[in-house]
Structure 1
């Protein structure tokens, strides 16, 4: 369904793809270290929950608002140049912020916020660009595995970046630490220049943003099974986000834990995600990928909901650690397998437009959930919020199973793909 639309020779795809993946890892890890450092700087300097919430929203808003309009541009522009340009822009703002922190005793908050916003806009372009590049670089039969490997890289970043960022934040001045972004951009761009990314016939065509955004939405809604899976996934994000954003509060308030214990939960969840991504990357050749997606809903619902039913004791915290390791393992399945199905469902020359709409739909419910997280936790207790999130996740999985077009989507997709081979 995809490779027939490119002239790219796939004989040596592994070397090409893993060079690309390595560059994204190096660029991503340095960027995340700087991101964590900025958040810790804001925490240390302001101690304000409002400032931190605003910084979090700045990281989400561009994805929600811009994603539908970014898709048509990604389909039309040279993807390698787009990744390079966004890396360069982030690096330039890192240099500006570093200079500002050097010439004044503290970083101007307005400049920090602008820098965070620019980083988020760059990510809004980079994520769907990478997602749309992958199906042009690897054989169809390897899509699920390589998406699992990409998930592994992202999970590894989540594990390494907080610890490395905390260490560097303690020993390196913030104005110097920010320049790590520049180093990462140089490494990432250098490796990207050695990668072959196939050109598509849609590149260079004129862009009509509103019309093409509607086109992306139309293509997604026409594909009924995928549309149902997407809408239910957005509902899952809305239900799950309040609990996900309050893990530190659950650890420190409900279990009376320490900051290090709150960090432990983040680490074990990320380790679980890494293991889940590794499992997909090694064994990810399911004939029906909806089965592991439905299993992931079940596991997440039981583990997250079960976390809210634990006693607020040391033993309860031990079980909390165990449950969230399992929850972490289940987390990559939905996004990774959904992405593989989408990449096989659409021609690469229109994939950016579809992904733009899809990413916006899956992202828009996150900020909405965050707005209700604090007030809800204060009113009913953070542990009950976990129970609600678990129950809601199980309901989302059940609804997906009860809709034949969603439940059988991958089986029908594989039939179409095999017929076209």
Structure 2
């Protein structure tokens, strides 16, 4: 069984790294050819909207359809679109912006299906006491992709013609799908039954809303995302406007953050058998809050930037300690035949505060300074950590969950 989940994670890494490398190359192509902030904003929005708008309606399909096919089909569709885009660029001499938008949207749709599917699969493949560790391994895969893809995309963008580079997405899909063929994924009793999208999405909402402990954790998680996401989106501006840094230094900030996340995921994957997961969750939030808050009061000097770099890496290290145990608690709290619907609703709710927060990020940064945004983010995350540990229902939830050893919501309500 351990080998099978390793095949699953390796397949996701190979598919993800090639897809993200191509996506970065496409964004740089748009930047080079159009120079339009509006075009880049639309491209970014296309990557975010499917998760927010469609995740609640993806869950019912995860619970009722063959999960292996839900991983394979999106990869194949994305590869076909990449093949079309490559052919148009090769034989037409240019890439129509609308077709690039379509390819970005298809990638986002594929991710909208695949991530909650994987989250629903893992509890059926590994013992409950190993879930946090295996989720840590998944976090390592995602962080490695985020570190490698931008650098690899930059190198290949300068070395290869775009039509050929885009074909990497096809290669990644072939490798990912091939590895999935070796994975046996347990199915639940609802597979093959009729999907009622609206009704099933409502059930997912009711299941999440009905578990008071997890519902409060969801609200606190949304508050955390709302607090830190606007500041996190301003890393390049903080580097270049506040510290008067270069584009290269702005890129270094991103790499250091994801390197920290990679290390955090590795630590959890090895030492992630927590007796009470609320403690790493809260401490992760505290560290994120402190690092963001301190970042906003650093001097605008070279030493200040060095400390910003260090604090950024520490924040990246702390993120998996907040996110990974929390996801594992959701996975253990629901039966396999309902988990897809719950995770679909959860992913939509957790994704929503990001764009909402971004609406306020620009005006706040322009009016009060980008550093103020980091101070506000730090205070907001620290307040969320206080609420998470202060509420008895969230503070004691995991101890009760592990003591019961139950994945039946009716016993957790």
**Where on the TM-score scale, by shorter chain, does this alignment land: which range?**
over 0.9
Aligned match for 1:205, one of 184, 190, 193: 193
Residues 1:175 and 2:163 are matched in the alignment? yes
Q: In the alignment, which residue of structure 1 is the partner of 2:70? A: 82
Partner of 1:376: 364
Q: Residues 221-256 of structure 1, C-alpha deviation per residue, up to 9 Å, x if partnerless?
A: 111111001011111111211111110110011100
**Alignment partner for residue 265 of structure 1, among 253, 273, 282?**
253
How far apart, in 2, do the equivalents of 1:341 and 1:418 lie? Answer: 11
Question: Which residue of structure 2 lines up, in the alignment, with residue 8 of structure 1?
Answer: none
Match of 1:352 in 2: 340
Matches within 5 A, 1:8-27: 13-27=1-15
8 Å CA contact 2:253, 2:309 repeated in 1: yes
TM-score, length-scaled by structure 2: 0.97
**Equivalent residue pairs, number:** 408
How far does residue 106 in structure 1 lie from its aligned partner after superposition?
A: 2.3
Matches within 5 A, 1:10-89: 13-89=1-77
For 1:338 and 1:305, the matched residues in 2 are separated by: 23
Correspondence for 1:409 among 384, 397, 408: 397
For residues 363-387 of structure 1, the C-alpha deviation after alignment (integer angstroms, 9 at most, x for no partner) is 1111111222222211111111011
**Which piece of structure 1 moves more, 383-392 or 103-112?**
103-112
TM-score (normalizing by structure 1): 0.95
Alignment RMSD (CA, Å): 1.2
Distance change >3 Å, CA 408–CA 169, structure 1 → 2: same
Structure 2 contact 334–407 (Cα < 8 Å) conserved:
no
Alpha-carbon distance, 1:419 to partner: 11
Partner in structure 2 of residue 285 of structure 1: 273
Q: Deviations over 1:287-344 (max 9, x none)?
A: 1000000001100000011001001111100000111111010011222111110111
- Aligned partner of residue 241 in structure 1, secondary structure: helix
Partner of 2:143: 155
Unaligned runs of 5+ in 2: 409-413
Residue 316 (structure 1) aligned with residue 300 (structure 2):
no
Q: Provide the C-alpha distance between the structure 2 equivalents of 1:382 and 1:46, rounded to a whole number of angstroms.
A: 27
What is the distance in 2 between the residues matched to 1:114 and 1:239? 31
Q: Which runs of 4+ in 1 moved over 6 A?
A: none
